[in-house]
Structure formats: structure tokens, C-alpha cells
Structure 1
């Protein structure tokens, strides 16, 4: 590739790589090669693709930043030059590439306010006409309107594979290549943009016309948001949309999102938030029949989790009506369908929408669909049981190798990490006789997961399932059965056969009338309280109390208060 004349520089880092290499410039272009034992492979760029170059101070010395014509390559950063190398590099760029190496100084004032400018390949934040920092569009994974005047920008997270599939470090074909630089990295940035702004008109090449008429004024934050989506190509993926589903109800995060499915990713489009999620991020995929015989749930486990500001969502929970069917023709070329997705996808679907979405997800992502275990059937012949995590109600599903609680907080518990499960009663005697709790103790000894308010009828099916899966089970309910029974019998003794104690809610309604009658006959109060021979009960007063409470609620005052109130009514009757 290189001609006779070439210039070489050692200890240069490509795109914030962890290890250095050698950079060689020649008339036909330049290249970078890692040193022995370095990561990745060789990177080259043809001279015809170089648009501009910039010299500035950087992390490891001085940097040459090259802007490429290839949209996949974007910006190439070569870091690690010495200050004395400027004259030498500027001359070869001028002679070989006919490009001026522009020297730029960064703003060092430390201000957090300035002017944002959208370049061809990066967003530049300028302070006093000097760049404070630049954000390459290739590093932006998502953006959302976080408020009326606030825009949130999410950055690409590191991938598990590191370099791309072709072995090119950072390279030109890798979106989010700076994510390989370090373990700690910036994942979100927010811009506060007040006021209004006008969108400039563009020519046929997409460039803004300086002297053109100003468009209609709109919120400046909205304009920034729309421009960033356009520049960073957020939501746009290579290839056509294979399938689209509109207004899908999501329980976590709550809202309705349109789902667009592509070859390597899918997109959630909502009124406020817009996400693009790679299929590689899907770690779990579950299809769960909700125990109401009306809905089905699709649960998708993500790593890294979905982010909305400071909130992280490791699971997506979608809800569908079981009787809602969809008629869909897959938007995919026949040759692609017959070669890459043969026996994985169909050209036409006509089935319940939850089944269609799960089948397409499985075909495109290659992920296995997890369903509830056949070894568990609840007392009501369902796959899940109703319960609560603290104040959040939901359903706990028994899978073959794990337990899943949905919708909020979506909790996944692998059976391999469970040390033991304890079944116990918590609460008052009567309440505990109808419901019980289960607590999962984990092997790491740090976390416990407690599910409460489970119907007493589900005890035996759950206990049988735990034992079938070899989970150590402790039943504390058998130990306190005698105390529960005694407390229940005591409650029955305290309650009259006419339901006087149980239906005592109307006693609260008699408070004002009792006070008025009490004041009119206050002279006999001493005799009632201090006379040992004073009658405290009578058939007439009992009948009156029963009549007063006949239509009352069960949520009345305590029994100690009820013991005094009949006395006042007896006295009033006299």
C-alpha cells in the first residue's frame, strides 16, 4: 500500500486502545499496527477518504484526529504523539493529502455552559469559541427528552466480545469503539437547553443554508433532540424493518411502545422514550400465561439493562390479550428467508399476537423461549400464584430452573443460587390462617427474597414443587398450627353468634349522638362508674346494640372500646 516515502511513529494509540502500536504515513494513506502482543489487528485508511485532520492536546500527549468520508469509520483518533512531531506531521498531510493539519486548543475555563455545535461526525461543546469536549456520534446509543428543557444522551456500553467480529480494533466498522478504552466510562450526559430556536433550511446535499429563511420557532431542547437523532442515526438500523407492532402495552417500564424488529436489533418507540436494543443484549426470554385466563406476558431479560434517567430496567414486561390475533406478512426477501432463517421464520403469521411476537423474536435472535414448568400446577390450575413483594402485588411463576416474579419489581431467582426456602405465617391470627409467606434464602448469604400474602390453598402445590426440584424446604406453619387454632377459637368466643363484634363499624357513626346524650344526663355518671351494684348489662340494651350494628362495617374500633360503649347506651336507655 505504501510508496517509497513513508513516515513512522512509535507508541501511538488508536481510538483510545489500551495498548500502543506503530503508525505509518505514506502517499497512498496511513495505517496502524499493534506492537507484539497487542490487541486487535491492523487498521488502514486510504488517502482519498481523508476529509480533514486536527491536532490537539489529548490524554497521552498530542493527538491527530482524522475525519473520514466513510460514515462507518467516522473519526479516527491517533493519540500519543510528541509536541515536536507537529511540524513533521503537518508537512506530510499538506504534501501527500493536500490537507491542512488544523491546530486547536481546548477550553480550560471549566465552565459547564457554552454552545453546542453539530459537526459532520461529532457534537462539539464550545466555551468561548474553543471546544471543551467533543462527542462522536458513533458513541451515542440513545437520546431522550428528559424534561421540557432537558435532553439526556446515552453512550454505547462495552460489548462482551470487545473488538468487532472481524477482529478490527475499534475500528472503523465498530460502533461504540471508544467503549473499549477503560472499565470506568461515561454512560449518560444531560444538556439543559432553555429558550426557543429556529431550524435552518437545508440544500439538496443536506447542508444548512446560512442566508436561508428561518423556519418556524420551536423549543430549543426539542430542536437539539431532533438534530441529534438525525446526526447520530439513532433508531435507524441497516436494512428494512422486518415487522412492526403498534401500541404494545408494557408493564415495565410502564407505557405503550411501538416495536420495530430488524435483523440484529429491535426498537421501542414511545411518546417520550426511544430505545434501540441489540439482540445480543437479550439474556432471557419468557412467555408466561397470566393467571387471569385473559392475558399473556412476555418477559425479556436485558444485560446491560434499559435506562430511563437514573432508573434501570433489567427486564421488559409486555402484556397481551390472549384472544387478540394478528395477521402479519413478514417484510423479508425470500432468498434471505430461505437461507438464513429457514425453519426459523415464516413468511406469513396468523395467530395470537403474543405467539407471533415471541416466534419472531426467537427466529431473529436465536434465543430459547422459556415457559412455566409442567411440574407445577396451582390450586386454581394456573402456572403462577398471586403474591406480593412488600406493597407490590404480582404473580410468582415456577419455571424449570428458576422463579420469576412480575411485573414490578421484576425479580428472577435461579434455583442454583437458592440455599433454602421457608414457608411461614405472618400477621394476625385470622389473616395468617388464610395466607402465608415464602422466603428464599440465597447461597451467598446476603440477599433474601420474601413473597407474602399467598393463598393458603397454594401451600401444598408449592411445597410439592420445591421438593420435586430438590430445594431444601422448611415449613414453619406446622409449628404454630396449635397457636393459630387457639387464637382463632378465642376470636370465635369473643364474637357473638349475632355478629355483634364482627359488625361494629356503625359504632363510629354514633360518636356524636352519644356525646350529646351523655351531656344531658351527666349527673348519673358517677353512679354508673363507681356503684358496684350498678347493672352493666341487660337484654334491652343488648338488643339495641345489635340493631345499631346490624348494617355496620367490619372495620370498627377495638374491642376494648366496645366494652365501654354498651354501658353508655344502657345508661341512656334508662
Structure 2
């Protein structure tokens, strides 16, 4: 329907929204309104250009704004192009450009950054676009490679959409070879050959800057510099915002929603020097194909920090119920755990009443080839730092102790412990100091966990037991060697008493040639020479 004041089109989508609405062109603005009264209005003074492109849902009218932003409207029909073209020229003095997409199927081309969008062009035609405003992170998985992450597995689907009926883009990896000239302020030609950098690093930094620009709609509340992370290994800057946090490292950059944080632990390390802060995530953090459901940060207990939060009094009172302070000057681990507890809205779990033989909150052990600490907490066991293993007490069926009785040998200084979970999985810890058994057994009994001992069980040799085992093996070897020697000595004496009359090493007339003799020949040839 057309008249002198505006032009309307029905059944139009706005961006990636699932519902349709009515699209209108008016002399003062461009607008879209859904059946649920959700509206998008663009003033005519902000319009820069318009493009007509074939899209998945019919044809698309792409509106580019003067500030670099892009709005997309899908669902047009092919016959709507002439009406849009004439109306845009009449109302806004803008010529609607008709663009063709590349359908060659090539996977190599050139990239172009248009506002917050990354455009991939093949033969000067657009093949696809990536909205970096919806990306959650970027990293470098390998040499000359840059990965852009969009959706975490496990992220809830949009309202009213069955997650099994939708497909979502999760990752895109670009291979960027070669080098490019380095941009410098002074254009000097003296060091032109040396002023080159890897093209993948330039591309990676550009993507990161676009992510920061699109995600930083508000200023960060606080920032922590160079925080040591044990799992995954590295140092990260932690930027905390009202709804999410960002981990920025030299290789990886992540955006984590506070809604993904499900557990927080603050655990003192048995060395009495460090404190561990553990963050449980669902969905987990991903680095390539590796998933990290827990982040383990380490702090020095004596280190202190002096920070001021970028929040006003009204926000701290209304949104955070005065659980945050404007200024903090305290140990670093206390400040970070307090801020995480308020922003994520999760309780911070600390050690309970358990104490090891040495008075620590954890006991040292090994999980397969990894050494770490096992924390018996009030509602779970937690093994850190690698691999972080969470064992709820209510999911434990039976705990089996191995090599704890006298039959295991008095020389054994360690024992093993295996958790038989109700789900059918087994989790085993080894190389536990024998002195820890009494306190650990008391803890199990207090929590009413079933215990079973297997003294005659076939055990796994650990490094701490290798010395004892090697000593026993040496003793056994010496005794066996002695017995063998005593048995064979009489035979050797008998052989010496009966000399071999045929053996004559100094007899030059021996008719048996040696293998290394150069004059060795066959027996028939030797007999022939003697006859001659």
C-alpha cells in the first residue's frame, strides 16, 4: 500500500529476530514494528546508503548509517525493489544499490571490516558477513590462524525456539599467511624492509578491537592486571562489567557471562603461601577442542591491592544491595572473591572442618600422572589444579582404600583411594601419604560414606614406592644369583678335572681353519691340494 506520506511492506524481518512485522519508509525516518509492538526507528538524517541483496529469507534491504552501524531487513520480494528504489530516491536522495553475492564456493578471498561486521569478499563480491557484535571471543589456535567464537555449547536457545530445531554458528577459523607493512606515524623509507609484521597478528588485533568496541557499551567496573591462571595456564587481565567479564591474554580473549558462573571456591594452598580461587562454568570455557569447566587462579596470600570501583552509590544500593564498597584496600584474593560473589550472585565456598595430618585443608595426591591437592569440603571433594575434578558427596557410592593394611607391606608409605560413583564411573587418586588415612577415614564416617578396604588388591606402583620395590628386587636378585652360583660351581669343577684332549690352541698343525682366516677354503678343495 502506497500514498503520499509513507510506503509500507508487511511480513518483514528485522535482523535476526524470529517474528515478522511491518516495514515503513517515511520522509522523516525508516521504521519497523512487530506484532508485539517491538519497534526499530532510524531517523532519515542518520541514513548513509542502502543496498539490495539476495538473502536466505527472500531479499534484504541493508541500511548503512553514518556512524558505521548497519540495520538489515529481510523478507522482501523481487518486485519490491523498484518501489524501494523510487521511494528512497524521492525521500532521502539515496540510490539503492543492487549487489550480487559470490556463489563460487571458494574458501579464499579478502576480508573487509565495515563497522562491527566482518565481510568476506571473493572476486570483489560478498560471500558472507560475520556480525562481530555477537562474537564472544577470539584467539589464535595455531600459526597463521585466527579463530572467532560466537556461541558456547549449552547456551540457552532464544525464547520459543526448540534448541534441537536450530543450527547456530559456533566458530570460524581464518588462515592468514604472509606479512604486511607495519603502520607507523612517520613514513620513513630507511627501515622499510624491517617494518613488516605477520598478517595474522594484524588481523587478530583488528578483530579484538572490534570485539572490544561492540562489547564495551558501558565502562568496566574494575580491572585486575596480570592474574596468574593455573588452568588454563597463562596470565590474563580480568575486566569486569555489570553483566559479563572478559579474560584478555596474549593468545586468547574470552567473554564470560555471569550467568555461566555456577560455583566459586576460595581455597588456601597447603604451602601457606598461596590462595587458589576456583570458578566453575557451565557451559565450560573452550580452547579449540579442549573444554575447561573450571578456572583456577592463584594469588600470593600477602599481596594486597588498592582499587576503586567505577560505580555510583545509587547503583551499588539498588542493583547490588550495598554488598560492594566504593574503595577496597585489602589482600588481592579477598577483593576479587568479594567482587565476584556480588556480580555473579554466587556463594563462595571455603574449606570446612577437615584438617590433614599436617593441619592443612587439603592432602597431596596424584590423579593419573598429575600431581595436585584434594580438598575434602562440606558437600564435595575438589581436586585441583589439573585436571580440576568436582566430586559431590551425594553421588559417591563406595570409597575403596588400597594398600592400607599390614598385608600391603610395612615399607609402603602411601596408599590409593578410588571413588565408585553412583553413575558407574570410577575416580582414583594415588600416592596419598599413609599418615593421612586416619583423618580421611574419620571424615568419610562423619559424612556417612561407605568405605571398603582391599589389602590384597593388585596395586599400581607409584614413584614414592619405587625405591622400596627396587630394594626388594635387588635383594631377591642377589639371593637367586647366589643359589644359581652354588648349583653350577660343582659342574664347573668336574669339567676342569677332565681336560679336553682334542683342544690344542697352540698347535699350529691343527687342520680346523678359523672363520676369519683368509686362507679358509672348502673341505673338498683342501683335500685336493694335499693330494697334489
Q: TM-score, normalised by structure 2?
A: 0.77
Q: In the TM superposition, what whole-angstrom CA distance separates every residue of 1:354-374 from its partner, at most 9, and x where no partner exists?
A: 112112222333332111233
Maintained 8 Å contact 1:251/1:318? yes
Maintained 8 Å contact 2:418/2:429? yes
CA distance in 1, matches of 2:447, 2:5: 72
Maintained 8 Å contact 1:425/1:432? no
The 1:465–1:334 alpha-carbon spacing in structure 2 relative to 1, beyond 3 Å, is: same
What corresponds to 2:322 in structure 1?
343
The 1:220–1:55 alpha-carbon spacing in structure 2 relative to 1, beyond 3 Å, is: same
The 1:112–1:557 alpha-carbon spacing in structure 2 relative to 1, beyond 3 Å, is: farther
What corresponds to 1:437 in structure 2?
417
SS at match of 1:147: coil
CA distance in 2, matches of 1:558, 1:52: 89
1:386 aligns with 2:364: yes
Using the TM superposition, name which of 254-263 and 298-307 deviates more: 254-263
Shift of 1:75: 2.7
Structure 1 or 2, whichever has the larger Rg, is: 2
Q: In the TM superposition, what whole-angstrom CA distance separates every residue of 1:26-83 from its partner, at most 9, and x where no partner exists?
A: 3333333334xx7x83333333333222211211222222223467xx3322222222
Q: In the TM superposition, what whole-angstrom CA distance separates every residue of 1:146-197 from its partner, at most 9, and x where no partner exists?
A: 334221212255864848xxxxx9xxxxxxxx9x997431221111111111
Maintained 8 Å contact 1:67/1:121? no
Determine which of 51, 75, 91 is the counterpart of 1:54.
51
SS at match of 2:79: helix
SS at match of 2:278: strand
Determine which of 385, 390, 406 is the counterpart of 2:384.
406
What corresponds to 1:139 in structure 2?
134
CA distance in 2, matches of 1:504, 1:404: 31
Determine which of 361, 374, 379 is the counterpart of 1:396.
374
Root mean square deviation, CA, Å:
3.9
Shift of 1:331: 5.0
Consecutive unaligned residues of structure 1, counting only runs of 5 or more, are 164-168, 170-177, 203-212, 488-501, 506-552
Q: In the TM superposition, what whole-angstrom CA distance separates every residue of 1:261-286 from its partner, at most 9, and x where no partner exists?
A: 33333332322223333323322111
Determine which of 467, 480, 483 is the counterpart of 1:563.
480
CA distance in 1, matches of 2:39, 2:392: 43
The 1:476–1:339 alpha-carbon spacing in structure 2 relative to 1, beyond 3 Å, is: closer
The 1:433–1:221 alpha-carbon spacing in structure 2 relative to 1, beyond 3 Å, is: closer
Pairs aligned (count): 472
Q: In the TM superposition, what whole-angstrom CA distance separates every residue of 1:68-122 from its partner, at most 9, and x where no partner exists?
A: 3467xx3322222222222122222222232222211111111111111122331
Shift of 1:310: 2.2
Shift of 1:412: 2.0
What corresponds to 2:210 in structure 1?
231
SS at match of 1:274: strand
The 1:343–1:34 alpha-carbon spacing in structure 2 relative to 1, beyond 3 Å, is: closer
1:30 aligns with 2:30: yes
CA distance in 2, matches of 1:79, 1:94: 20
The 1:6–1:462 alpha-carbon spacing in structure 2 relative to 1, beyond 3 Å, is: farther
What corresponds to 2:292 in structure 1?
313
Maintained 8 Å contact 2:133/2:215? no
Maintained 8 Å contact 2:367/2:430? yes
CA distance in 2, matches of 1:470, 1:29: 70
Q: In the TM superposition, what whole-angstrom CA distance separates every residue of 1:501-535 from its partner, at most 9, and x where no partner exists?
A: x9999xxxxxxxxxxxxxxxxxxxxxxxxxxxxxx
1:554 aligns with 2:471: yes
Determine which of 276, 297, 302 is the counterpart of 1:297.
276
Maintained 8 Å contact 1:283/1:303? yes
Shift of 1:442: 3.1
CA distance in 2, matches of 1:562, 1:131: 82
The 1:426–1:10 alpha-carbon spacing in structure 2 relative to 1, beyond 3 Å, is: farther
SS at match of 2:205: helix
Equivalent residues in 2 for 1:13-412, closer than 5 Å: 13-35=13-35, 41-69=38-66, 74-157=69-152, 160=156, 162=158, 183-198=166-181, 216-233=195-212, 237-333=216-312, 340-341=319-320, 343-374=322-353, 376-412=354-390
CA distance in 2, matches of 1:45, 1:440: 62
